[in-house]
Amino acid sequence: MHDFQYENIGEVRKFDAEDYPKMVAELNVVLEDLVQIPIYFKRDIIVSYLKDHSIKTEWINANPGLAKVMTSGSLVTRHLETLFEACRWNKTFRVDFERYIKARVN
């Protein structure tokens, strides 16, 4: 298992969760903390907030509890947010990363 530097993603690297064990560990903790939160727009809220620090009003109205937790600063998301920032210019990587997170949310 490798621990690649986030700034080395570039424009052609492919996403593989095994390359980012710290991100995976952090996501595991976040998902454990959110397990009791209702599912309404849960995947979308989590990804949107981690990626851009934004949440659509429609989603906030449907799941205010999750919106509150995501914006409270109580979750440790440094590795997740850093990886999103590092892959801004690699659309394929970013889309696969988003799919990975959404697939893990329950």
pLDDT digits (tens, 9 = 90+) for 8-42: 687 888 999 999 999 999 999 999 999 999 999 99
pLDDT for the residue 4: 52
DSSP H stretches of helix in 1-106: 21-33, 42-52, 57-62, 64-72, 78-86, 91-104
- Check residue 5 and give its pLDDT: 64
Nearest to 69 by CA among 47, 46, 92: 46
pLDDT at residue number 8: 67
Residue 70: band (very low, low, confident or very high) from pLDDT cuts 50, 70, 90: very high
pLDDT at 43: 98
